[in-house]
Amino acid sequence: MSPPFSRGFHRRHEAERADADRVPPGQYVVNDFPVLSAGPTPHTPLDQWSFTINGAVDEPRTWTWEQFQTLPAEEVTRDIHCVTHWSKLGTTWRGVAVDTLLQGIETSAEYVVEFADGGYTTNVPLDDLRDGKAWVAYEFDGEPLESEHGGPARMLVPHLYFWKSAKWVRGLTLSDDDRPGFWEQNGYHNYGDPWREQRYWND
């Protein structure tokens, strides 16, 4: 059954057509950078910041902020898609590829929980963080990442809805089983592919 027309409604933003093939279904393009988070913004001083990979690994790894800055960094430009319907095209980030962090780590794990200051968690299959698909980003548009956008460092997993890119990220817990994170327990899809419009439970 085709949806009902909304009498008198029409497209207002013709410019979006040019990038239509970059915009997943149900999304619209914004030029600013809206914020979505569930609680107050945490502010962890850099000298108390660390990044940890733990769980089903041979040995947990931890980097201080200083050590993290010495890891090889990459600049990446990607489109990002928020489940609240906005997409932002061509955002530029700098950070460390998860591939780099996983080098030398032995694991049979298939799943990851990203954990963050403030208690936020989100789950992703480990394969979705590998092979150049995910980064721990600490710069946006050439500037240190602002705290309201997840600074000092956040995940960047641009092929999934953006709640899968944890702000204020502090580490990854690898596990053999899939453990739904914060929004995944609160009505949002477990995987979150924007091209398949996996927004909510049952999508």
In the complex with another protein, the residue whose CB is nearer, 134 or 153, is 153
Task: Give the separation between CA 18 and CA 84, rounded to whole angstroms.
Answer: 22
In the complex with another protein, the residue whose CB is nearer, 4 or 45, is 4
Which tokens sit at 1? 């059954």
Using CB under 8 A as the binding rule, whether residue 72 contacts another protein is answered as no
CA nearest neighbour of 155 among 175, 173, 179: 173
Question: Which residue in 3, 45, 72, 142 binds another protein (CB under 8 A)?
Answer: 3
Using CB under 8 A as the binding rule, whether residue 84 contacts another protein is answered as yes
Within the chain, how many helices (H) and strands (E) appear? Answer: 2, 11
The answer to whether the CB of 79 falls within 8 A of the CB of 88 is yes
Tell me the window of 60-68, 73-81, 93-101, 180-188 that interacts with another protein (CB under 8 A): 180-188
Residue 180, helix vs strand vs coil: coil
Task: Give the separation between CA 48 and CA 39, rounded to whole angstroms.
Answer: 21
Phi-psi region of 49 (alpha: psi -120 to 50; beta: other; left: phi over 0): beta
Scanning residues 108 to 167, which ones bind another protein (CB under 8 A)? 118-119, 146, 148-149
Place of tokens 């057509």: 17
Tell me the window of 27-35, 64-72, 123-131, 167-175 that interacts with another protein (CB under 8 A): 27-35
In the complex with another protein, the residue whose CB is nearer, 28 or 103, is 28
Handedness of CA 175, 181, 185, 191 (dihedral sign): negative
Handedness of CA 68, 70, 72, 76 (dihedral sign): positive
How big is the site for another protein, counted in residues (CB under 8 A)? 42
Using CB under 8 A as the binding rule, whether residue 14 contacts another protein is answered as no
Using CB under 8 A as the binding rule, whether residue 39 contacts another protein is answered as yes
In the complex with another protein, the residue whose CB is nearer, 68 or 86, is 86
Tell me the window of 10-18, 72-80, 107-115, 170-178 that interacts with another protein (CB under 8 A): 10-18
Residues of the shown chain interacting with another protein in the complex, contacts defined by CB under 8 A:
3-13, 26-28, 30, 32-42, 84-85, 118-119, 146, 148-149, 182-183, 185-187, 200-203
